[in-house]
A and B are shown apart, each in its own frame.
Chain A
């Protein structure tokens, strides 16, 4: 016997109330005055008899009433053996339709195996068909209709998703609990090792599930795959592009393979690569001549093997001209321009074309034309330009501010309008210079800036971070590099200059990656990737684009979103291999290449011992429990206890009436 809400048993303490009234209160009631007690004495006999349970029946009824009420609220139950629900069983056929089932004729063999299971079942026995990839998809309701079940099996096709046996176990456990029937699970799969969950305990199916495994794959099929491709998402100079592909083999012998770079269906370059046994090899292509706009590219293996899907790796690139970068400087400061231009042109992927302008000439410029604007130690900006610039940043623009003596004279940082804390010079007698003591290497500006800590800073013009992220500090704690959001846009404040006077940073190798990564980060150049994995989500709209329509064109050239989804959906899951075109609200078009999870490329099956263990797991084999009739269910006793409460209340009323009359007579 157990209790559903055992905390209510604390209500049993209320039993003390009638005991108090009967035993204690009764004694103290009605003291009677008497002329003299000289002939009385404290009698032991009296005391004992006084303490007896005077109204035993009434007390018992009241105690029982309160105890039963507390018991009823505690929700008592007993476990009763269920009359062999083993007769009610459900045949569940699960067919694996993950990416690896595309290999050779695995999916067809799986369908045939499933049909043979259906034909072998008892005709009246209910059955259900489901398909497994990343999730379990129930294709039919429990039914005895052989035609319906067979049609469901025949409709199963391989997908591009990976399978998960852990997800299968979780879903089947839930199905067994909700249906109340014993589930005879028949799993038809290639039993891929990579589909196993991290822990064997995640495969537990529960006491009401009987597992039968039907492998459809031969052991250890060799397979080659293009595992990954590293390519830029945007190309500004085709001659500087480098595409790196990794070819892997699983259960495979050493082989020499031809790897081709294909763009828009045209083979641009083919290289031969020697792949070691069960190993990897890397291939590099040093050019990618593609036309302007988005181009569908892929790296392809020749010859193709039994699993053709992973013999190519798709990626999308966008060919574009470098975008304009406005560099605002004081007329007398040409050194900053020189160093910054040199660094920008030396970048591996020069995404920006520098457009210099002096501070007094920028009044007529529209900041919205420039994805990134650099303010290099400017003292005064035209008020109209600065106002437009501030609005542009709030709308999503980006600004890099370098602060030096001119900014210190201005007293405030441009755009930010933050007060300059001080103009700090390193004293000649003492420190001579300062270095960057702490830096956040995860920030894009410093990610590739090797040797940043050896830069000597002679002057710093810091501002209060005021909620911004301090990326780097000098040795004395002065904020050197601050990344701060302003509305939808971003600002990066560099508390020194690019002129090789306030510091020697432009002479260091780390200056070029610093400039390249900073402007790329501000211009959102590196935020796109050339390819993603099946099952990934892509964000469709930002907070400023709510309510505006977004279009997604799938690999089959059809619209992937309904009209309502196009207007409201925040994200979209990419569930198939191929190229997706995204037409965003701000007329920005994007192309996303989607590839299957390469874990599916490893066709190594689960060892037979593990499969046998899973199949014969004690919890997964309910036969013993069902046959012994040991399946028990809680049986709630609430109503029975409430009937007893009613009886106790009735008894209490009858007895109380009797005693009340006696008390009246005595009084």
Chain B
């Protein structure tokens, strides 16, 4: 019932990004099945067998006294992760064919992820980039962090071109702790280049999620007549016939998506394609799945 609130068109009508994020997350959480694997208010989390190199301060000596085995007692605070959302704000993200742009969708997604992370007491940070880093909010769990994040997300406006190389190079300098990196972009770049750029993050032990946001018209364009298309990033013009859009373009975009998915899988990067006419819950579920894996 509440799933309908995750419809992007309805979210777009809600003013205030914090309210959007709250609506999304609350609706999403309320719809989950109860599961022992998912708890939010327990102090104690689990015991884990000691391994060489673990800090001896975390050994539960009471258990060792009873069983003569070393177990580490893990608490909730220790399982907190760090989420860094990288939001692409290039000009192409401003495209829309049905009332909601890709950047709007990305904003909702980023805000929802930050809100969800905040509820789980994960440190959340934000990088807004196009061909360079436009905004950076350092990951933190401090009070008011969510407001800062939402403010930064709200200020993101589509401009310039997408260039993965430069912002990701800088981003690696900011990344001090391992965590989850969520990249929200339309990824209009060669898959080889995209993966080559983001792979170094994976090597540092980060969990990497590529949220590939596309407009349904970009996946399957519907041209009723020959048209002149203008590239929103470069301004280049091109005559396009409906026949080409139906056949050749579709073949190329599907090949592009397939290659992205395969290369991401090969690189251990989670890839998730989001069409802007789809609800946001799938994206959040993807995040939580990965989040669970890091607990």
User: Is A31 interfacial (CB 8 A cutoff)?
Assistant: yes
Contact B226 A34 (CB under 8 A): no
Question: Could you tell me the distance in whole angstroms from the C-beta of B177 to the nearest C-beta in chain A?
Answer: 34
Q: Which of B188-244 contact A (CB under 8 A)?
A: 188, 215, 218, 224-234, 236-241, 243-244
Helix, strand, loop or mixed for chain A's interface? mixed
**Interface segment out of the listed B24-32, B107-115, B248-256:** B248-256
Contact B226 A42 (CB under 8 A): no
Decide yes or no: A37 and B244 within 8 Å by CB, A31-B229, A32-B227, A32-B230 being known contacts: no
Which residue of chain A is the closest to B237 with respect to CB atoms? A31
A47→B95 CA distance, assembly (Å): 25
Contact B229 A32 (CB under 8 A): yes
Given the complex, which residues of B lie within 8 Å of A47, measured CB to CB? 239
Contact A46 B95 (CB under 8 A): no
Contact A45 B231 (CB under 8 A): no
Given the complex, which residues of A lie within 8 Å of B252, measured CB to CB? 39
Contact A27 B102 (CB under 8 A): no
A34→B224 CA distance, assembly (Å): 15
Contact B102 A46 (CB under 8 A): no
Contact A35 B237 (CB under 8 A): no
Given the complex, which residues of B lie within 8 Å of A666, measured CB to CB? 224-225
User: Is B92 interfacial (CB 8 A cutoff)?
Assistant: yes
Contact A50 B241 (CB under 8 A): yes
User: Is B186 interfacial (CB 8 A cutoff)?
Assistant: yes
A444→B241 CA distance, assembly (Å): 96
Which residue of chain B is the closest to A46 with respect to CB atoms? B241
Contact A38 B241 (CB under 8 A): no
Given the complex, which residues of B lie within 8 Å of A45, measured CB to CB? 241, 243-244
> Contact flags (1/0) for A382-414 with B, using CB distance below 8 Å?
000000000000000000000000000000000
Contact B230 A43 (CB under 8 A): no
Decide yes or no: A39 and B249 within 8 Å by CB, A31-B230, A32-B228 being known contacts: yes
Given the complex, which residues of A lie within 8 Å of B248, measured CB to CB? 43
Which residue of chain A is the closest to B255 with respect to CB atoms? A39
Contact B95 A35 (CB under 8 A): yes
Q: Which of A17-46 contact B (CB under 8 A)?
A: 27-28, 30-43, 45-46
**Residue from B186, B218, B226, B232 within 8 A of A33 (CB atoms):** B232
A43→B247 CA distance, assembly (Å): 12
User: Is A588 interfacial (CB 8 A cutoff)?
Assistant: no
Contact A27 B228 (CB under 8 A): yes
Which residue of chain B is the closest to A37 with respect to CB atoms? B231
Most buried by B among A28, A34, A40, A50: A34
Which residue of chain A is the closest to B233 with respect to CB atoms? A36
Question: Could you tell me the distance in whole angstroms from the C-beta of B255 to the nearest C-beta in chain A?
Answer: 9
Contact B241 A34 (CB under 8 A): no
**Residue from A27, A28, A34, A49 within 8 A of B229 (CB atoms):** A34
**Residue from B224, B226, B233 within 8 A of A46 (CB atoms):** B226
Which residue of chain B is the closest to A38 with respect to CB atoms? B188
A35→B253 CA distance, assembly (Å): 13
Which residue of chain A is the closest to B225 with respect to CB atoms? A666
Question: Could you tell me the distance in whole angstroms from the C-beta of A314 to the nearest C-beta in chain B?
Answer: 99
Contact A50 B238 (CB under 8 A): no
> Contact flags (1/0) for A586-612 with B, using CB distance below 8 Å?
000000000000000000000000000
Given the complex, which residues of B lie within 8 Å of A38, measured CB to CB? 188
**Residue from B102, B215, B249 within 8 A of A40 (CB atoms):** B249
A36→B239 CA distance, assembly (Å): 13
A49→B227 CA distance, assembly (Å): 12
Which residue of chain A is the closest to B188 with respect to CB atoms? A36
Question: Could you tell me the distance in whole angstroms from the C-beta of B235 to the nearest C-beta in chain A?
Answer: 10
A37→B232 CA distance, assembly (Å): 9
Contact A39 B230 (CB under 8 A): no
A31→B223 CA distance, assembly (Å): 12
**Residue from B102, B236, B243, B244 within 8 A of A35 (CB atoms):** B102
Given the complex, which residues of B lie within 8 Å of A37, measured CB to CB? 229, 231, 234, 236, 238
Contact B225 A27 (CB under 8 A): no
Given the complex, which residues of A lie within 8 Å of B225, measured CB to CB? 666
Which residue of chain A is the closest to B236 with respect to CB atoms? A37
**Residue from A28, A30, A36, A49 within 8 A of B241 (CB atoms):** A49
Given the complex, which residues of B lie within 8 Å of A27, measured CB to CB? 226, 228, 239
Which residue of chain A is the closest to B224 with respect to CB atoms? A666
A41→B226 CA distance, assembly (Å): 14
Question: Could you tell me the distance in whole angstroms from the C-beta of A643 to the nearest C-beta in chain B?
Answer: 36
**Residue from B231, B239, B243, B256 within 8 A of A34 (CB atoms):** B231
Question: Could you tell me the distance in whole angstroms from the C-beta of B190 to the nearest C-beta in chain A?
Answer: 8
Contact A42 B239 (CB under 8 A): yes
Contact A35 B188 (CB under 8 A): yes
- Using CB atoms and an 8 Å cutoff, list the residues of chain A in contact with chain B: 27-28, 30-43, 45-47, 49-50, 666
- Using CB atoms and an 8 Å cutoff, list the residues of chain B in contact with chain A: 92-95, 102, 186, 188, 215, 218, 224-234, 236-241, 243-244, 248-249, 252-253, 256
30 contacts between A and B (CB under 8 A): A30-B228, A31-B227, A31-B228, A33-B232, A34-B229, A34-B232, A35-B94, A35-B95, A35-B186, A35-B231, A36-B188, A37-B229, A39-B252, A39-B256, A40-B229, A40-B238, A40-B249, A42-B239, A43-B239, A43-B240, A43-B241, A43-B244, A43-B248, A45-B241, A45-B244, A46-B226, A46-B239, A46-B243, A49-B226, A666-B224
Instruction: Please provide the 10 A-B residue pairs with the shortest distance between their CB atoms, ordered closest to farther.
Output: A46-B241, A35-B95, A35-B92, A36-B188, A34-B229, A39-B252, A31-B228, A37-B231, A50-B226, A33-B230
Contacts A43-B248, A50-B239 given; 13 further ones with Cβ under 8 A? A31-B229, A32-B229, A32-B230, A33-B230, A33-B232, A34-B95, A34-B231, A35-B94, A36-B92, A40-B244, A43-B244, A45-B243, A49-B226
